[in-house]
Structure 1
Amino acid sequence: MKTILHLFSRPSYLIGLLILAGGCDLIKETFPESDKDGKITCKVDGVEFEAAGKQGSVSIDFVVAEMLREGSSFHLTVWGVSEHNGGALAVGFRMGGYSLADIAPGTTLTDWDYDDALVGDFVGAMGGVEERSSPFADEAVLRASSNHSDLMSLTVDELDTVQKTLSGTFFFKAKDQDTGAEVEVTEGAFSNIQWTEVE
């Protein structure tokens, strides 16, 4: 069965781009957080995590959401990136399905099943956590996903296909397939997440 090992390979790339664009003062200059631009909060092994606002050239704290569509099927990737212990931490999730019309308020997704008939090849939801020791680091200290731990729950509270916004809650356990390290993400919430359509 096909698995996705690198949930946040693109955010890692984005972190690197932001560092190069902003230089050494990048962490000191923070983009103003704004709930209207999307926000993710949770606890990662009991430690508070928060990322808010759109990706900016002077910020290491931001939220990004990208939607792929093919026919009626969809694949949405949402992640927040924030400064963490002198490095960077990314927390987020993926959702996939046969149609956005199937995702009514109150829908809870718990599985992440392979189906190559869908854009993105999966239906359901998967959570992930990636940590880097430094914003400049090429290698991740931790790269863990819920598809290696089999515990994921994501509930959609609001989905607006016209405004392209999403709100809800989540929790999951994630495991790093290489090291065996496990991470528990609890009390997760995402609000006003606005996605961008990508090809």
Structure 2
Amino acid sequence: MSRKKGSSIRYFLLFVVLLVLIWSLIKPVEGYRVLLVEVLPSVLVLIFLISRYNQFRLTTVSYVIITLLVILTFIGGHYSYSKVPLFTWIKDYFDLQRNHYDRFGHFLKGLMVIVIIEILLRKTVLLKSKTTNFIALCITLAIGALYEIIEWLSTKIGKEGKATKDFLGMQGDIWDAQKDMALLLVGSILSLFFIKLLYKGLEKSR
């Protein structure tokens, strides 16, 4: 892939992300407070990536993954994770006990391990190896655990109000955090099967 084509794809991805962000800001289902706490981390990540673009550019593979995860967050922020329409329909059709958009999101967040591997390969002395993959897997799980802790702290700070419960998204499951982490782990392990796509992207970017 030529650099010009790669840049065009990245600008297109940014355009799509901005469109979805603007859409998410239009009459969010649970109000702007829930939307803010859901999308703020992703917005901060975007601002950081854009500000560092000329100094440190990721591969197109990593930008596609980031775009997907950010869009998932914006959709969840707009509807709240427990009320995303498609997954509500799936819940009703299959007579499930909960809306599984949150679980689906945690599973896909396993793709983050590929982005972390790229950063480790380019910014540390680590080389392509199972050890690097394992370290990236641990970092991915640590980030997921930190987010679960933030969700838990929000219940204490917010005194378990409606907005806090919408952000937490447990839907009555006391093992929600553990299941989220388990799905993140499964998603991360499965994502490692696609690591060759990253390696090809790194080789072409040299």
* TM-score calculated relative to the size of structure 2: 0.23
Whose strand fraction is larger, Structure 1's or Structure 2's? 1
Q: Kindly name which structure, 1 or 2, has the bigger radius of gyration based on alpha carbons.
A: 2
* TM-score calculated relative to the size of structure 1: 0.24
Whose helix fraction is larger, Structure 1's or Structure 2's? 2
Give the structure, 1 or 2, with the largest relative contact order (CA under 8 Å, sep 6 or more): 2
